[in-house]
Structure 1
Amino acid sequence: MDGGSGLNIMYAKTLDEMGVDRTNLRRIRAPFHGIMPGRQAIPLGQIDLPVTFGDQSNYRTETLTFDVVGFPGTFLAILERPCYVKFMAVPNYTYLKLKMPGPRGVITSFRRAYECEVECCGHASAVVASEELATLREEVVEETPNAKKSSGSFESTEGSKEVLVDPSSSEGKKVHIGTALSSK
């Protein structure tokens, strides 16, 4: 569930796992932006596929056009504004729910959207962490460790004082805080 774009995106891996032959793709060469930060993406092609929301008692199927991309993603597909228009659906991003009219009342879809959101957050964190690590490796110059200093030791600097973490506790755990900090 996104809503920020005019494209429905499907990953080639999803298409392959569905058993759909890639020869069914219509070739397009128009690039788009916003899927991979700072880069343009050129889809492998487009395909029209039926999409169903609901359950056996109340469901609706419409045919959607997907731009198929060859890079990996955490989702199976990304449904955008064209999907919402076709299904007359209303997304609620706070609750990750999608509501649309069905033949027997309102259809609400949310469970899989939540699972995908959780998975995507984990994937995004891993990507950001790996990129940050690569940047740090490039920027950091290895320093020779000081043999006099044991690893894990802490030396207080001027302008700090020791304060008990929990004055009512008998453990006596302390923390160093800066005395030159503003009240903010």
Structure 2
Amino acid sequence: MTHFRREPIWFEVVDLDSPYHALLGRPALAKFMMVPHYAYLKAKMLGPKGIITIADDYKKLVECAAASSCLAESLVIVEEKHLLDWAVAMASKQPSMPSNPKDVEAKGSFQPAKETKKIILDLAHLEQYAVMGSNLDIK
């Protein structure tokens, strides 16, 4: 076997079902001067006796694509169910909304610090004010 190409590269081994024998990133493609063509499942690179063509299997591609599609769909369904359960739980914790929001007294759970002062925003509406810390730095 005299028509091959050898280059040292770092890689990780992962256990996944894929139509590809190897998943190479840009550094590996550049090192091999490889040109991939994903539609034809082929890759070409220069070798000592001309162009080396690497081909893959379409049947395996279709099997893996179908399996990964089913897996992705099941993961999306599970995630959507978690979000729906969360929304139902949050809705059950909230008190029911009144028909007219103005009927509800405006109370917040926020409690200001002790060293604060009220600054009136408009003298015509004394109920509109801002709360600021009274011991803030000049900066």
TM-score category of the 2 structures, normalised to the smaller one: 0.3 to 0.5
Highest Rg: 1 or 2?
A: 2
Structure having the larger proportion of residues in helix: 2
Structure having the larger proportion of residues in strand: 1
TM-score w.r.t. the length of structure 1 is 0.37
| Larger RCO: 1 or 2 (CA < 8 Å, sep 6+) | 1
TM-score w.r.t. the length of structure 2 is 0.46
